[in-house]
Amino acid sequence: MEGIEEIKRLAKRIYGEDKGEQAFHKILPLIEGFPVQKSKRTGYFSEKDVVLITYGDTLNQEGETPLATLHGFANEFLKDAISNIHFLPFFPYSSDDGFSVMDFFEIDPELGTWKEVASIGQDFELMFDYVVNHFSSKGQWFRNYLEGQDGFAEFAMEVDPATDLSMVTRPRSLPLLSEYKKKDWQTVHLWTTFSADQIDFNFKSPDVLAKMIEVLLFYVEQGATILRLDAIAYLWKEIGTNCIHLSQTHDMVKLFQAILDRVAPDVIIITETNVPHDENISYLGDGRDEAQMVYNFTLPPQWLNFYYKVA
């Protein structure tokens, strides 16, 4: 049972004693049912690791899917230059260039199939976006929430519009709350950090935790060796705080890491936070218990600036 007690401890630290026990028992069958992968890594990264970040439809050729075209191109021209292909969200989506995911378990059929992703994984390591903060208002999960179906009734965060939310850190200038009507015609105002189409998960619900752990493990099963935790800084909300980088958010990353340490120790977590440096690197934790790397938006333009200065 190595690692299980740490997973339980983190669940209770996030949710409290009773609710933490409930959350733990929701995710335990997922963890115990996942085939454990033995560690093969001697380290996480070296100077030989180069990651190509791309959308699934960057390249197109008549008669084949974009993923097949990308695979052929990468094999012919990039085999000796890159080690890993990072796919930006390649799931069915409704907005925001893929970051409003309608189905977390499917590949956008216009791009290709999971079989083609697996084929790419035979030649390159794979990095997926784990869009963990929000889900699409056009997907089945949101319809399940509006209908009050079992396991989905608490998927979104309902907030009284009269609540003082002035302390909340905003990454965008769009309204924080968006109005929707449930199946019974009840009007609700839902927390939408990025847009009205991107409904924030209510991670205070163990049902949300269980579903997203299922997604996490599914991506590992599909061959992901790196998972980028999109918009992770905003995952946990507490009224009366700035709702960014809260301790529960850090503990949630530690929980994801503890689960991967248990079942897939070679899979790497990268956090995407787009915040000042000191806040960004806080997701490294103590160097062992949280993310193995943080995503730094300033690095690419700095490299370009350096290149043109010395060129």
Q: How far is residue 42 from each of residues 17, 45, 195, measured CA to CA in Å? A: 37, 9, 41
CATH number at residue 45: 3.20.20.80
The answer for residues whose C-beta is within 8 angstroms of residue 275's C-beta and 6 or more apart is 233, 244, 245
How confident is residue 297, by pLDDT bands cut at 50, 70 and 90? Answer: confident
Q: Please tell me the total count of domains within the chain.
A: 1
The average confidence (pLDDT) of the chain is 95
Question: Does the pLDDT value for residue 68 go beyond 90?
Answer: yes
On the question of pLDDT at 302 being above 90, the answer is no
The structure tokens listed for 55 are 């959308």
Residue 228 lies in a domain: yes
pLDDT of residue 2: 66
Q: Report DSSP state, residue 243.
A: -
Nearest by Cα to 202 from 238, 250, 229, 246: 238
Q: Is residue 181 part of a domain?
A: no
**Whether pLDDT at 304 is above 80:** no
Which of 268, 286, 258 has the alpha carbon at shortest distance from 5? 258
Percent of the chain with pLDDT over 70: 98
What confidence score (pLDDT) does residue 6 get?
Answer: 97
What pLDDT digit, counting tens, does each position of 23-39 carry? 999 999 999 999 999 88
Q: Is the pLDDT of residue 311 over 70?
A: no
Active site residue 103: no
The two structure tokens encoding residue 75? 């094999």
Backbone torsions φ then ψ of 181, nearest 5 degrees: -115, 135
pLDDT digits (tens, 9 = 90+) for 107-166: 999 999 999 999 999 999 999 999 999 999 999 999 999 999 999 999 999 999 999 999
In a domain, 194, yes or no: no
Instruction: Render pLDDT for 251-275 as a digit per residue (tens, 0 to 9).
Output: 999 999 999 999 999 999 999 998 9
Residue 296 is predicted with a pLDDT of 78
Residue 239, domain member (yes or no): yes
Q: Does the pLDDT value for residue 299 go beyond 90? A: no
Q: Quote the distance between the C-alpha of residue 84 and its chain's center.
A: 18
Q: Where are the beta strands (DSSP E) in the chain?
A: 51-54, 84-87, 125-131, 134-136, 177-181, 187-191, 198-200, 224-230, 268-272, 293-295
Cβ atoms of 9 and 33 closer than 8 Å:
no
Flag whether 208 is in a domain.
Answer: yes
Q: Which domain holds residue 274?
A: 4-132+203-310
Asked if residue 159 is part of any domain, the answer here is no
Residue 300 forms part of a structural domain? yes
Radius of gyration of the chain (CA): 20
Catalytic annotation, pick one of 108, 129, 197, 230: 230
Residue 44 has pLDDT above 90, yes or no: no
- Cα separation, 177 vs 192, in Å, equals 6
174: in domain:
no
Contacts of 15 (CB under 8 A, 6+ apart): 22, 23, 204, 206
CA distance 265 to 235: 24
Closest CA to 120 of 161, 69, 166, 158: 69
What's the start-to-end Cα distance of the chain, in Å?
56
* CA distance linking residue 83 with residue 272, whole number of Å: 20
pLDDT of residue 1: 62
d(CA 91, CA 111): 9
Q: What's the confidence (pLDDT) of residue 152?
A: 98
pLDDT at 298: 72
